[in-house]
Amino acid sequence: MANVLEVRGLNKSFGGIVVARNVDLDLHSGRVVGLIGPNGAGKTSLFNLISGVVRLDSGGVWLDGAPLNRLKFHQRIHRGLSRTWQHVRLFPSLPVLDNLLIATRDYPGERLVNVLFGRRRLGEHDRLARDKAMDILARMGLANVADALVTDLPYGQQKLVGVARALMGEAKCLLLDEPMAGVEGASYATMQRVVREVADRGVAVCVVEHNVAFVRDLCDEGVFMFSGAIMERGSVAELIRDPQLTELYFGH
């Protein structure tokens, strides 16, 4: 069980408000960690800090043993980190399939030299990318909307596409920010299945979620955050049963 992502002593304040208080976190290959807590606990902020969207005040983040602190957001993605967004953030000017095709690990088609002179060389890469994208879409039951515009899709499907896009990059560590918010019905089971499959392939997954049932069914362990600090770690069932945590959660 390899330690894919390590977070030590993360601290961050925004103008007097502490969003991260000495946070430690470990994400292991093949395990799904559920990050739960009331609104304002700092869960999304933690994702922003880990991925480098927001600069930390102190502490460190390591991916596969290599420090990420000095790297910018896009550089950390390159190293094997991937994340989704609470508000999806798909590209409205591209059809669903292109939203995935653009998310591959490498993109030789975007080197200007290849644009002008190497159209034929790219055929193989394109075919593989297309196959992979269609495969992911099929597993999510979205194969039929590959050519649709993202704005034409219902919200639940958009969220699934968002996760699909995050999967294209074959990351080592996946951070899912509230994948179930606003999603119901069939998509629920699909999302569970997809995340489980991803983890089984060796990816370290961390999910921020309010949907307790989802977290309980899916996650191997839970982490409870409150006011920027990690209060408890343990199995999700234990965390749910703890009366103090329940009060913190619902007291807000």
Partner 1 sequence: MLDATIILQILWTSLATSSYYVLFAVAFALVLKVTRLFNFAQAAIMTIAFYTAFVAVQWLEWPAWAAFAVMMAATLAASYALERIGFEALRKRGVSVMFVFVFTFMVSEFVDYLAMLIFGTWPQTVFPGIFWPVTLVGNIAISAWDLPAIGATAGAFAVLFGFMRFSRLGQFMTGVADNPELAELYGIDKRRIFLVAMLIAGAFSALGMFLYGTRAQVLPQTGLNLMLFAVAATIIGGIGNVAGAAIAAVILGVIQNASILVISSEWQGFLLYVFLFLAIIFFPNGLRLPQRRRFATASETLAEQDAPPAESKA
Partner 2 sequence: MEYLDGLIVIVGLYVILAASFNLIIGYGGLVSIAHPVFFALGAYASAILSRDFAVPVPLAMVAGAAVALAASIALALPSLRVSGDYLLIASIGFQLGLLEVIKNLRFTGGSSGFTNIPPFLIRDFGRLSYVVLVLAATAAVIWLVRSIARSDYGRAMSAMRDDELAFASLGRNAMWMKIAIFGLGSGLAGLAGALYAHYFRFVTPEQFELLQSAAILTMVVVGGMRTTWGPVVGALLLEALPQALAFLNLPPSVLGPIQGLLFTGLVLVFMFFRPQGLVPAQDVWRGTRKAEETR
- Taking CB under 8 A as the criterion, the residue among 31, 130, 139, 216 binding partner 2 is 130
Q: How far apart are CA 120 and CA 184, in angstroms?
A: 43
Which option in partner 1, partner 2, none does residue 109 bind, with CB closer than 5 to 8 A by kind? partner 2
Residues 202 and 34: beta-carbon distance below 8 Å: no
Binding segment for partner 2 (CB under 8 A), chosen from 8-16, 22-30, 100-108, 197-205, is: 100-108
Binding segment for partner 2 (CB under 8 A), chosen from 32-40, 80-88, 183-191, 201-209, is: 80-88
Residue 110 is a binding residue for partner 2 (CB under 8 A): yes
Q: Applying CB under 8 A, which residues contact partner 1?
A: 17, 19, 39-45, 48, 53-55, 73, 85-87, 89, 227-228
Q: Kind and range of the H or E element at 21?
A: strand 17-28
Which option in partner 1, partner 2, none does residue 190 bind, with CB closer than 5 to 8 A by kind? none
Residues 29 and 4: beta-carbon distance below 8 Å: yes
Per-residue tokens: 82: 């991937």
Nearest to 44 by CA among 177, 227, 215: 177
Per-residue tokens: 244: 């103090």
Nearest to 163 by CA among 192, 186, 129: 192
Residue 94 is a binding residue for partner 2 (CB under 8 A): yes
For the CB of residue 72, give the shortest distance to partner 1 in the complex, in Å.
Answer: 9
Residue 71 is a binding residue for partner 2 (CB under 8 A): no
Which option in partner 1, partner 2, none does residue 221 bind, with CB closer than 5 to 8 A by kind? none
3-class secondary-structure state, position 184: coil
Residue 73 is a binding residue for partner 2 (CB under 8 A): yes
- Taking CB under 8 A as the criterion, the residue among 38, 59, 109, 234 binding partner 2 is 109
Q: How far apart are CA 126 and CA 183, in angstroms?
A: 31
Per-residue x/- track, 139-168, partner 2 (CB under 8 A): ----------x---------------x---
3-class secondary-structure state, position 204: strand
For the CB of residue 109, give the shortest distance to partner 2 in the complex, in Å.
Answer: 3
14: phi > 0 → left, psi -120 to 50 → alpha, else beta; which? beta
Give the HSE-up count for residue 56: Cα atoms under 13 Å, Cβ half-sphere: 29
Residue 113 is a binding residue for partner 2 (CB under 8 A): no
Residue with structure tokens 């999967």? 167
Sign of CA dihedral 175, 180, 182, 185: positive
For the CB of residue 48, give the shortest distance to partner 1 in the complex, in Å.
Answer: 5
Q: Work out the end-to-end distance of the chain between its first and last CA atoms, rounded to an integer number of angstroms.
A: 36
For the CB of residue 213, give the shortest distance to partner 2 in the complex, in Å.
Answer: 28
Q: Return residues touching partner 2 (CB under 8 A).
A: 51, 53, 73-75, 77-78, 82-83, 85, 89-95, 98, 101-103, 105, 107, 109-110, 112, 115-116, 119, 122, 126-127, 130, 149, 165, 169
